Structure 1
Amino acid sequence: MARRPVFQEVTDTTPRASAPSGGMIDAGPKGARGAIRVWLIVLFVLVTAMIALGGATRLTGSGLSITEWKPVTGAIPPMDAAAWQAEFDKYKQIPQFRLENPDMDLAGFKQIYWWEWAHRLLGRLVGVIWAAGFLFFWATKRIPAGWAPRLLGLGALGGAQGAIGWWMVHSGLSGEMVRVASYRLAVHLGLAFAILGLIAWYALALGRSEAELMRARRAGEGKLFSMTTGLMHLTFVQILIGALVAGIDAGRMYTGWPAMGGEWIPAAIWDPALGWRNFFENPALVQFTHRMVAYLLAIFAVVVWLRARRSPHPVTRGAYTVMLAAVAVQVGLGIVNVIHASPLHAALAHQLGAVALFTLILRARHHARYPYETSVRGTVR
């Protein structure tokens, strides 16, 4: 081999493999994350509307106006006078008509019928939009890896919600009931919020890439995440208690604040004849419990917010401040409701406030788990 000068430039012509441009998580199929997120946001808006419309149906006493469950043919309302009279005759057979609305005429029946029909129709629309979106993304292979079971699960829960809705309505069609059973109403509303929470969580997750979420999780704040999870669970319990209040019209029986009808602890808070059913059927105990849990939730929210103030991530701190503001607004709406005996507009505002609060808690919780990266130049989004 010939000698080379010491300072001769040597060119290496051996081909080398290029350096990887990303991690293995980036190499996998990403799917249509943005499009699926938009689809989920549409579902979120529709489920929120379902919750509001369901509240209006309950508050107007319309929930028992349709006495049959016809998932497909029930989408078509009565089209002529004979059909309307047939529906009205079915309603006349249930206890609510005989015991509460014996003087109702056909015009009055139509008013309550349209509330319930609209609620059921919107439920069908939610199912159709879920099915159309899922089938499209699945058939075109645009669902990101690992997401198909989650999105399919939403549809399964939606189907179960329809069945539970009928189970709830059926409780008021016989015996001496003039409204649906309050505990069945609580199950129905609770599942609606569970579906809403899953949709919100999935939409938040799809707003960022898997690689970004993986990096963000390393900077997650475990203690803050755990505390917020506890706050989320307490809020969910409070929503269930609120359904019990609505189910027996307890919000209209004890007015005034901070006392309940002039009493700090109502004299009728326990009825020995009811036993354990006091927790579901005694208006004094149900509303008292709802108020006490509200105070506990507000205190806990302040504690969580104080912990969040120590977060090094500005976006996380901002999310918890917005959450605390929502708690204050919701408490205020609750007070307005009890003072004015839950008029329709105030009650619906309170119910939508619960949706906003629950969603903002989930958002803050997501930021605690997956904080946005920060640097000396600001937040990296």
Structure 2
Amino acid sequence: MTTALTDSELGVRRDTDRVEANRRAIRIWLGVVLFTLFCLVLVGGATRLTDSGLSITEWKPIHGVIPPLTVQEWEEELELYRQIPEYQQINKGMSLEEFKVIFWWEWGHRFLARIIGLVFAIPLAYFWVTGRIEKQLKLPLLGILALGGLQGFIGWWMVSSGLTQRVDVSQYRLATHLLMACFIFASCLWIMRGLARHSDEPAPAASSQRFAGILVFLIFFQIYLGALVAGLDAGFAFNTWPLMDGALIPGDLFAQSPAWLNLFENPKTVQFVHRIGAYVLLAAVLYHMIHSLRAGAKTTHARRSVVLFVLVCVQAMIGIITLVMQVPIFWGVVHQGAALVVLGFAIAHWRGFYGEIPPQPDSIRA
């Protein structure tokens, strides 16, 4: 025999259902944003590997949406490219058809970045105006939107470093650009994960939550090191594993002066540090898995630690394949994409220890 609900209870149920429906819509929206960001990072990796990043020498946030449509416009773009050192020192004599290949990679990367801005901003405005966003989510979502705008500026700041004196972009600016993309990706995932149902199981150990955060930091740092490797084209040299230049610890790691400069500008040192970073990350994830399984093998948190370990192992194997094959475009892009998958799962794993963001029905319009 069922008991009729009071008006107050019905009101609470309606509020709960409304909040859950709004949260589901926001999760779907953020999922689309994450997928688009993932695609953007892949295209960005391919743009770097094909040396296409300097093919568009002007920053036109609005007008740049339209690519060259006539032979004359294509010739104008090529003439602009002929003015920079990369063409004069590396690609001198490049034909128009060859130029179109690198142009389309860079144009596609910029176009996809603009699309992400719309994919994020338009639904955000709709959810905001219609009162579907809880008060506690407004500032974080606005912050991500601001970071997206900043990322566009960082992208041009990166490209501009290769237009006057260098034949490529600065590895420092490239690393900043990639890290910002990863931070935006992680922020979207953190919020999306916080709006989903969470397991009420306790953490396997008191240190599990803190160590999961340390793993996220290590993954970010490893991505930063990988960006330095890409920026210096360090992956195209010393293509053996586990030995590097015939030794476990190669010589001339600190050939440049001052010594610290080697960590950022010596291709051999940067690649070696990236390898060591991979070993440290693998050991840390292995420790986290073993500790979690011993402390609470049947918990969701422990099972996720196993998945994270497997993902890091797969990424390590992809990295080795990419290296020994001398960084073919396919494997280079897969390696970068897999890094984002590892980061994303690590973020979700860490967020899982905090529980669902407490709903605020009063901050949602009826």
TM-score normalised by the chain length of structure 1: 0.86
Deviation per residue, 1:11-36 (Å, 9 max, x gap): xxxxxx99978999x77973711111
Question: What is the CA–CA distance in structure 2 between the aligned matches of 1:306 and 1:22, rounded to whole Å?
Answer: 47
Deviation per residue, 1:43-95 (Å, 9 max, x gap): 00000011100000000000000001010100100110111011000000101
Question: What is the CA–CA distance in structure 2 between the aligned matches of 1:313 and 1:71, rounded to whole Å?
Answer: 51
- Runs (4 or more) in structure 1 with deviation over 6 Å come to 17-24, 26-29, 217-220
- CA distance change for structure 1 residues 59 and 130 in 2, over 3 Å: closer, same or farther? same
C-alpha deviation, 1:339, in angstroms: 1.0
Deviation per residue, 1:255-301 (Å, 9 max, x gap): 10001132322223122346433222111100000000100110000
- CA distance change for structure 1 residues 326 and 219 in 2, over 3 Å: closer, same or farther? closer
Counterpart of 2:262 in structure 1 is: 278
Out of 173, 187, 197, the residue aligned to residue 198 of structure 1 is 187
- CA distance change for structure 1 residues 92 and 234 in 2, over 3 Å: closer, same or farther? same
Out of 81, 91, 103, the residue aligned to residue 91 of structure 1 is 81
C-alpha deviation, 1:151, in angstroms: 1.2
Verify the 8 A CA contact 2:301 2:352 in the aligned structure 1: yes
C-alpha deviation, 1:369, in angstroms: 2.9
Counterpart of 1:269 in structure 2 is: 253
Aligned-residue Cα RMSD (Å) equals 2.3
Instruction: Kindly provide the amino acid, as one letter, of the partner of residue 234 in structure 1.
Output: L
Counterpart of 1:303 in structure 2 is: 287
Verify the 8 A CA contact 2:194 2:355 in the aligned structure 1: no
Out of 187, 192, 208, the residue aligned to residue 176 of structure 2 is 187
Instruction: Kindly provide the amino acid, as one letter, of the partner of residue 224 in structure 2.
Output: L
Counterpart secondary structure, 2:143: helix
Counterpart of 1:133 in structure 2 is: 123
**Is there any run of 5+ residues in structure 2 with no aligned partner, and where?**
1-5, 357-366
Out of 164, 180, 203, the residue aligned to residue 174 of structure 1 is 164
Question: What is the CA–CA distance in structure 2 between the aligned matches of 1:124 and 1:305, rounded to whole Å?
Answer: 39
Counterpart of 2:314 in structure 1 is: 329
C-alpha deviation, 1:330, in angstroms: 0.7
Counterpart of 2:364 in structure 1 is: none
C-alpha deviation, 1:180, in angstroms: 0.5
- CA distance change for structure 1 residues 127 and 239 in 2, over 3 Å: closer, same or farther? same
Counterpart of 1:374 in structure 2 is: none
Counterpart secondary structure, 1:159: helix
Q: Does 1:287 align with 2:284?
A: no
Question: What is the CA–CA distance in structure 2 between the aligned matches of 1:263 and 1:100, rounded to whole Å?
Answer: 32
Verify the 8 A CA contact 2:174 2:228 in the aligned structure 1: yes
C-alpha deviation, 1:221, in angstroms: 5.5
Verify the 8 A CA contact 2:203 2:209 in the aligned structure 1: no
Deviation per residue, 1:154-209 (Å, 9 max, x gap): 1111001000000000000011x11100011000000100011111111111123x
Counterpart of 1:355 in structure 2 is: 340
Q: Does 1:157 align with 2:156?
A: no
Question: What is the CA–CA distance in structure 1 between the aligned matches of 2:11 and 2:57, rounded to whole Å?
Answer: 59
- CA distance change for structure 1 residues 84 and 45 in 2, over 3 Å: closer, same or farther? same
Counterpart secondary structure, 1:256: coil
C-alpha deviation, 1:368, in angstroms: 2.8
Q: Does 1:146 align with 2:136?
A: yes
Counterpart of 2:33 in structure 1 is: 43
Question: What is the CA–CA distance in structure 2 between the aligned matches of 1:272 and 1:219, rounded to whole Å?
Answer: 47
Out of 330, 340, 345, the residue aligned to residue 345 of structure 1 is 330
TM-score normalised by the chain length of structure 2: 0.89
Counterpart of 2:93 in structure 1 is: 103
C-alpha deviation, 1:216, in angstroms: 3.9
Verify the 8 A CA contact 2:189 2:344 in the aligned structure 1: yes
Question: What is the CA–CA distance in structure 2 between the aligned matches of 1:294 and 1:223, rounded to whole Å?
Answer: 22
Equivalent residue pairs, number: 348
**Is there any run of 5+ residues in structure 1 with no aligned partner, and where?**
1-16, 372-381
Deviation per residue, 1:326-370 (Å, 9 max, x gap): 011011111111211111111111111101111111122122333
Question: What is the CA–CA distance in structure 1 between the aligned matches of 2:316 and 2:10, rounded to whole Å?
Answer: 51
Which is bigger in relative contact order (C-alpha 8 A, separation at least 6)? 2
Counterpart secondary structure, 2:238: coil
